[in-house]
Amino acid sequence: MILIGPPGAGKGTQAAFLVDTFRIPHISSGDMLRAAVKEGTALGKQADEFMKKGALVPDDLVIGMIIERIGKPDAQGGFMLDGFPRTAPQADALDQALKRAGVDLDVVLLIEVPDGLILERITGRRSDPQTGTIYHIKFNPAPADVVARLVHRKDDTEEAFGARLAKYHSETTPIIPFYEQRGLLRRVDGVGTPAEVTARIKTALADLS
Ligand code: AP5
Ligand code: MG
């Protein structure tokens, strides 16, 4: 399964429900890159320069990281990609890797949210570094006992968000027809409460669970 959607669409939020339903690993390229930055690995040092500006990390770095990850034992029964592929070369590389492995994609889930609603989601996001839980100061407030340890992503500024949204429209939306033409795409309206969006996803994927 692949999750696609603009920054702040709710991919990470909805992935928590999908993992419980399908019992497959949630593989978020953004989370993996942030972990590499935190650990100070060679990949992390290179990626950090691009990520903090809201630019895309070069394809060759991201493709290698994801293809290696989906080859791990826990991904052999299926996996959910979040944030990858997001360029045409990434979609091609994934396609080739899956063909080589004899794996068919079941579904590409597109969470649609209009541009005008996203900035507030991004600037109000807070994450728990201990559990990975995603909160929002207004739409999904954290319990009082974890508030002190919450972090704000470096690229969740208004400036970096503008660059991220522009990249989504220029690089990622062009790969959507690639999956639509193959009959894999399912669109879900991402406007409403997180629970309302989860309910729509359940309906959209009812034949798979
Ligand atoms: P990545 O981490 O993938 O960021 P993104 O795609 O911009 O998406 P986000 O994680 O910001 O949003 P989300 O859809 O997960 O929303 P969330 O559920 O958190 O990538 C970060 C960077 O890494 C990129 O810019 C790039 O530099 C690099 N990178 C990653 N992958 C790459 C690749 N393949 N190639 C090249 N570079 C790559 O929700 C957002 C907020 O909204 C939260 O506060 C949440 O609580 C709230 N919320 C969620 N749902 C709702 C709702 N229904 N109503 C109200 N609020 C809601
Ligand atoms: Mg995310």
Ligand 1, residues at Cβ distance < 6 Å:
5, 7-13, 29-30, 33, 50-51, 54-57, 62, 83-84, 86, 90, 121, 124-125, 134-136, 139-140, 155, 164, 192-194, 197
Indicate the pLDDT class of residue 152, thresholds 50, 70 and 90.
very high
Phi-psi region of 153 (alpha: psi -120 to 50; beta: other; left: phi over 0): beta
Cis peptide before 73 (omega within 30 of 0): no
The predicted model scores a pTM of 0.96
Residues near ion ligand 2 (Cβ under 5 Å):
11-12
Helix (H) or strand (E) holding 108: strand 108-112
84 CA: nearest ligand 1 atom: 34
Give, for ligand 1, the residue of 140, 171, 175 to mutate: max count of ligand atoms closer than 8 Å to Cβ.
140
pLDDT tens column, 36-78: 999 999 999 999 999 999 999 999 999 999 999 999 999 999 9
